[in-house]
Amino acid sequence: MQALVIAAHGSHLNPDASDPTYAHADTIRETGAFDEVREAFWKEEPHFREVVRTLEADEVFVVPLFISEGYFTEQVIPRELRLDDWDPEKWDSDGTSASQATLEADDVGKTIHYCGPVGTHDAMTDVIVQRAETAMEDPDVGEGVGLSVVGHGTERNENSAKAIEYHSERIRDRDRFDEVEALFMDEEPEVDDVTDYFESDDIVVVPLFIADGYHTQEDIPEDMGLTEDYRLGWDVPAEVDGHRIWYTGAVGTEALMADVVLERATDAGADIGDARETVRDLAGSVADADHEPSAGTGAGD
């Protein structure tokens, strides 16, 4: 038996924070690839501390629904899962290349395959592109369009920017969009000046966040000048300094994210049959068309 745990932040204050986690877990449940699929949270229940003991399977794949490698993926989650032998060295990562580490959770007698976060997986690049397609309702979006991937920026975590830059670079290499820029809330180059960084009339802005909340629904739209006051809402596209800005919320809510979760688990050795095709069908993916073979995972791909 094998189980999947999707580990996310959650919130004590905002009930919507866990929506993407539930949505992606449900998509994966539909595929039947795992005997058990469980959501787990830092701020909600079941907590990271409790989740593994609720499983019957001996093989557990834990996929963090986080954007970057850092404090949560390297310290909090492994500690709270009681992975005693964990050491960030086991991921042997430069900040965007974590794959997985196999560890024993002695207190519950299970083998835990602790995966890198979804945000730094190569397949995430497709999700960002898909987000742009969804935003512009155009599966061929690219020509004459600039794409901005927006992240939080430093906030005590140097890897936070790395993930944003990593995917921007990969999309740039595909030569699909006229321009691709990584922009940030808390560091240069800043999302406030988004129009300074683009020549294109149309700019798609994709925030690399897991859930919609304060940043994606209040801060970023106001900072970019889409609206004076987030409570008034904004248009998609909205006119700013002679550009059309196509902004939709957090990329983490994109249905195709379930595919990234599955890729993480497959990379770690999960046997998921043809679940990825099912998920891509469910997500109505158009990203398949330009999915580079090298972006895949090898096993089961």
Partner 1 sequence: MTISSDDLETLLERASDGISFDGLRIAETDGDYSLETPDNEWHGLDEAALRETLETCEEYVTNWRYWQETVGGEGTARRAFLRWCEHAPLPDADEHTTEGLAVPTRYDALRNGIDRQWGQLSITVRFVDVDDPDGERVYDLWHVDDADSDLVDLEVYDDPRDARDIATYDEDGRYRPLKTAPTLVSGWAFTGLSGAELVETIGFLYPATIANWHRELRGNLDIDHWTETAERQTGIYDVIDELPREAVDWMAEACCVDSQCLRRREWEYDEDDDLDVDGGDGPFPCREPCSLVVAAARKWAILESEEEHTYELELTTSELNQLEELIDAVAEGRTDEIREADVYDGANRYRARYLRAKRVGEGGLEATQVDE
Give the nearer residue to partner 1 in terms of CB position, either 11 or 227: 11
Distance between CA atoms of 120 and 183, rounded to whole angstroms? Answer: 17
Tally of CB atoms within 10 A around 299 = 13
User: Which one of residues 32, 45, 102, 239 is an interface residue with partner 1 (CB under 8 A)?
Assistant: 45
Q: How far is the CB of 8 from partner 1 (least distance, A)?
A: 13
User: Which one of residues 5, 31, 54, 149 is an interface residue with partner 1 (CB under 8 A)?
Assistant: 54
269 scored as a contact of partner 1 (CB under 8 A): no
Q: Which of residues 59-78 bind partner 1 (CB under 8 A)?
A: 71, 75-76
User: Which one of residues 2, 3, 32, 51 is an interface residue with partner 1 (CB under 8 A)?
Assistant: 51
Binding mask 87-126 for partner 1 (x = CB under 8 A): --------------------x-------------------
Q: Which two tokens stand for residue 5?
A: 């745990």
Binding mask 188-227 for partner 1 (x = CB under 8 A): ----------------------------------------
Distance between CA atoms of 134 and 143, rounded to whole angstroms? Answer: 15
Q: How far is the CB of 180 from partner 1 (least distance, A)?
A: 33
Cα→Cα distances 272→5, 23, 252, 253, 268, Å: 14, 19, 22, 22, 11
Distance between CA atoms of 275 and 278, rounded to whole angstroms? Answer: 5
Q: How many residues bind partner 1 (CB under 8 A)?
A: 25
169 scored as a contact of partner 1 (CB under 8 A): no
Give the nearer residue to partner 1 in terms of CB position, either 16 or 140: 16
Q: What does residue 109 show for φ and ψ, rounded to 5 degrees?
A: 65, 45
Among the listed residues 151, 162, 168, the one whose alpha carbon sits nearest the alpha carbon of residue 95: 162
Q: How far is the CB of 80 from partner 1 (least distance, A)?
A: 9
Distance between CA atoms of 207 and 215, rounded to whole angstroms? Answer: 9
44 scored as a contact of partner 1 (CB under 8 A): yes
DSSP H helices, the chain, are: 19-31, 48-51, 77-80, 123-136, 158-173, 214, 220-223, 257-267, 275-282
What single string gives the DSSP state of each residue in 6-23? EEE---SS-GGGGHHHHH
Q: How far is the CB of 12 from partner 1 (least distance, A)?
A: 4
Give the nearer residue to partner 1 in terms of CB position, either 59 or 202: 59
Candidate segments 37-45, 146-154, 177-185, 195-203, binder of partner 1 by CB under 8 A: 37-45
Q: What's the N-to-C CA distance of the chain in angstroms?
A: 22
Q: H/E element holding 256? A: none
Question: Which residues of the chain form contacts with partner 1 (CB under 8 A)?
Answer: 11-15, 22, 26, 41-47, 49-51, 53-54, 56, 71, 75-76, 79, 107
